[in-house]
Structure 1
Amino acid sequence: MPSGARTAHTVEVTAESLQEDLDRLKTRKQALEREPAAVVAHVDSVQRALCALQVLMRGPADAGAGGRKKYGRLTERILDCFTTVGDAGVRARDVAAALGRDTGSGSVNAVRGTLGRLVGTSRIRRCGRGLYRAGRS
C-alpha cells in the first residue's frame, strides 16, 4: 500500500473512531442532563411527604382542646412543616398540600399570607420567587 493510501486509511479509521466516541458521549451527556431534574423532583416529593407526616403525627395530640381552634394554629403547623424540610425551598402550594388543606387559590393564598408574615418576623425566609425556607437557627 502506498504511503498516501495508508495515511488516508488511517485518517478514515480515526474519524470513524472519533464519531463513535462522539455519539457515545452525546448519549451519556443527555442522560446526565436528565439526572439532576429527576433528583430535584424526588427531593421535592420526599420533602412534601415528610412535612405531611410531621403534621399528621402532631395532629391528634394537638386536637385535645375540645375541638376549639387555637389562634395561630396555621402558623404553628407551617413552622412544624418547615422543621422537617430543612434548608430546602418549598412553595406555598406544597405547604398547603402537606398540611392537608385544599390546594385551591383561597387556601393557598391563606398559607402564602401566613408565610409572608413569617418572613416579616424572620421566622422563615424567601429563597427565590415563590420559594420559602426555614429561618436560620
Structure 2
Amino acid sequence: MVSGTHAAHDIEVTAESLQAELERLRIQKQSLERELAAVVAHLGSVQRALSTLETLMLPPYGEAAPAGPAAKTAAAERDEAATPVARRSRPASPEPADAPTPAGAGIDGQKKYGKLTEQIMEYFAAVGDVDVRARDVAAALGRDVDSGSINGVRSTLDRLVGASRIRRTGRGLYRAKR
C-alpha cells in the first residue's frame, strides 16, 4: 500500500517537472523563431543591398558584358546558395521580399539592427565607471522586451569582452574599459 502511494507521488512529481520543461521549451522556441525572423529580415536587406550594388557595377552603356559560364551574376550565385530551410522558414508576408521598403522604414530598421555594438559602447561611455548588468543595458537600449533580445545584448557584451573593449567585473557584471 505504501509503495503504491510512493509511486503515485513519483509520477506526480515527474509530470510537474515535465510541464515546467514543456513551458521552458515553448518560450525557447518562440525566442528562436523571433531570432530566425530577424536573421531572415537581415538576409533580405543584405540581398537588396547587393542587388543595388550589382546594378551600380554594370558596365557603362555600349560596353559588352562578360560572356560565358564565368559571367554568372552574383544574384544567380546567391539564389543557388540559398538553402531550402531558409526559404521554408521565411515568415508569410503580404509583400514579396524584394519589394522596396517604405521611405524611412528600411533605414531606421537597419540603423537599429547591426548598430547594437555602437549603442552599447555609447551606453558605457555615458554611465562611466560603474558595474552594469546585461539586463540593465538591454533596458536602457529598449531591448528588454523578451529573453531573446536580452540574450542578444548578452552575446554582444561577451564579444566586446573578448575584443577587450569592455571588461567583465563579476558574474553578469560589465564595466567600460578605462
TM-score w.r.t. length of structure 1 = 0.49
Structure showing greater radius of gyration is 1
Higher relative contact order (CA 8 A, sep 6+): 1
TM-score w.r.t. length of structure 2 = 0.38
Which structure has greater helix proportion?
A: 1
